[in-house]
Amino acid sequence: MDIKSLYLDELINEMKINNKQPAFRAKQIYQWIHGKLVASYDDMTNLPKDLRSMLKERYPLKVLEAVDSLVSEKDGTIKYLFRLSDNRVIESVLMKYHHGNSVCISSQVGCRMGCSFCASTIGGRERDLTASEMLDQIYRIQSMSGERVSNVVVMGTGEPLDNYDNLVRFIRILSDSEGLNISARNITVSTCGLPEEIRRLAQEELPITLALSLHAPNDDIRKKLMPIANKYELSEVMDAFAYYYEKTGRRLTFEYCLVEGINDEEEHARELSRLLRGYNCHVNLIPINPIKERSYVKSNSNKIQKFKNILEKYRINVTIRREMGSDINAACGQLRKSYIDQNS
């Protein structure tokens, strides 16, 4: 049993039924794991010694091991490479902003969505991450850096809605007041657009921010970049997104990677503006980060600015995403990839 993936009430039950421990003991254990972020039962100093050894034996506390990191000299962004208990590796990133520290986590080992510009999908999906493996990326980064993490974005490797149950469990524990207590409002989940899961998520009563990787103003262009567009038409995804807004009242975010010659023309900006008319939303324009396996090229900054100006003319909230850690920013997923290439 993976003790770090249990909700507090599940842990209370487990301790009561299988170990005859009172609820307050379960609560202490939960607070040590999720509030004080300890990496070992030995550090749970208010628990009796024999209880600690029983826990060690029955519920091994799995902790991610940082095997590499890269620090940006420009802005202090740190990329971490973590080893999981089955020796697979994942990447997470710590970004420091004026308003606080933000961590970008992975939700799966690899990804099966196949977006043509993305490095994380090249080897396919190996497996889902458990809730505890998602949590521990944040726990270890906060412990190692000694600085509080205030925002979390699920925008690393993987499609979070393709790992739905673990994702929801992760969000509930992360925002729990007995744990790290990161407000759901400060958690963003980015998806390539799975309509059924978006609708399901809308009903969870979790005030997170949902971001849609749109990347195109129409189905034709979207299909060139994202295989998932062959399965779901844009209209279906947009309807699910509208439903999410209706249910949660949370402003929607659209991510749009600009790829030279594919989706960055003025006509695309106008088409995008028409598509988004009537949505309470924010558009994040992302200069694409070229990966060596593909020939895509980043749009030049003039073109990006022009694209932005057109959206603004149509009164759409839009920002160009700041490129953090550009000096260590071999595209997302490449630290992991080079580690695997060297070690296989």
* Nearest approach, Cβ of residue 287 and ligand SAH (Å): 7
Binding span for ligand SAH by CB under 6 A among 74-82, 135-143, 164-172, 288-296: 288-296
Residues 6+ apart with CB under 8 A from 136: 4, 62, 63, 64, 82
Name the active-site residue from 104, 192, 257, 332. Answer: 332
Measured between alpha carbons, how far is residue 176 from residues 105, 182, 189, 236, 334 in Å? 18, 7, 17, 33, 33
Task: Decide: is 257 part of the binding site for ligand SAH (CB under 6 A).
Answer: yes
Asked if residues 201 and 184 have their Cβ atoms less than 8 Å apart, the reply is: no
Per-residue H/E/C for 79-136: EEEEECCCCCEEEEEEEEECCEEEEECCCEEECCCCCCCCHHHCCCEEEECCHHHHHH
State yes or no: is 255 an active-site residue. Answer: no
Q: Which of 332, 334, 336, 337 binds ligand SAH (CB under 6 A)?
A: 332
Beta carbon nearer to ligand SAH, 4 or 125: 125
Asked if residues 299 and 286 have their Cβ atoms less than 8 Å apart, the reply is: no
State yes or no: is 133 an active-site residue. Answer: no
* Cα Rg, the chain, nearest whole Å: 21
- DSSP notation for 140-200: HHHHHH-S-EEEEEE-SSS-GGGGHHHHHHHHHHHT-TTTT---GGGEEEEES--HHHHHH
Binding span for ligand SAH by CB under 6 A among 87-95, 178-186, 216-224, 282-290: 282-290
Beta carbon nearer to ligand SAH, 21 or 102: 102
Binding span for ligand SAH by CB under 6 A among 92-100, 109-117, 179-187, 336-344: 109-117
Instruction: Give me the 183-212 binding string for ligand SAH, x by CB under 6 A, dash otherwise.
Output: -------xxx--------------------
Name the active-site residue from 14, 91, 159, 255. Answer: 91
* Nearest approach, Cβ of residue 257 and ligand SAH (Å): 5
Task: Decide: is 159 part of the binding site for ligand SAH (CB under 6 A).
Answer: yes
Question: In the complex, which residues of this chain contact ligand SAH (CB under 6 A)?
Answer: 113, 115, 117-118, 155, 159, 190-192, 213, 255, 257, 286, 288-289, 291, 331-332
Name the residues annotated as catalytic: 91, 332
